[in-house]
Amino acid sequence: MADVLPTATATSAVHQDSSYSTRIKENVKERLTSFRSDFRLGELSGSLGDLGTLLPILLSLSLTGQVDLTASLIFGGVWNIVTGIVFRMPMCVQPMKSIAAIALTNKMSMGSVMGAGMSVSAFIMVLGLTRTIYLVKRYTPIAVIRGIQLGTAVSFAGKAADLIKQAKSFGGEGWDWANNYEWACVTFIIVFLFYYRSKRIPTAIIIFMMGLIIAFIKLYTNPPDKVVYPKIGIYTVSTIVPTPEEFKHGFLSAGLGQIPLTALNSVIALAALANDLFPEKPAGTPTIAVSIGAMNLIGCFFGSIPFCHGSGGLAAQYRFGARTEISIIILGTLKIFFGLFFGSSLSGLIQCFPTAILGVMLFVSGIELGAVARTVNDGVHDDVKRHANFIVMITTAGMLVGFKNDGIGFLGGMVVAACFYLAARFGGSIDEDNTGVMAQQQQDQNSYAATQNSLPATRGNDDEDQSSIRKVPVETEQEQQQQPRV
pLDDT, one tens digit per residue, over 74-84 is 999 999 999 99
Which residues have a Cβ under 8 Å from the Cβ of 450 and sit 6 or more positions away?
A: none
Q: How confident is the model at residue 353 (pLDDT cuts 50, 70, 90)?
A: very high
Rounded (to 5) percent helix, strand, coil in the chain:
70, 0, 25
Which residue has better confidence, 343 or 2?
Answer: 343
Report the pLDDT value the prediction gives residue 471, as an integer from 0 to 100.
37
What DSSP character marks residue 267? Answer: I
pTM of the full predicted structure? 0.78
B/e letters for 435-459, b = 16+ CB within 10 Å, e = fewer, are: eeebeebeeeeeeeeeeeeeeeeee
- Whose CA is closest to 153, among 337, 325, 316? 316
Whether residue 146 has pLDDT greater than 60: yes
State pLDDT tens for residues 183-196. Answer: 999 999 999 999 88
Distances from the Cα of 258 to the Cαs of 25, 30, 102, 192, in angstroms? 41, 38, 10, 33
- pLDDT greater at residue 472 or residue 411: 411
Which whole number is the average pLDDT over 285-312? 94
Q: What is the C-alpha to C-alpha distance for residues 178 and 157, in angstroms, rounded to an integer?
A: 22
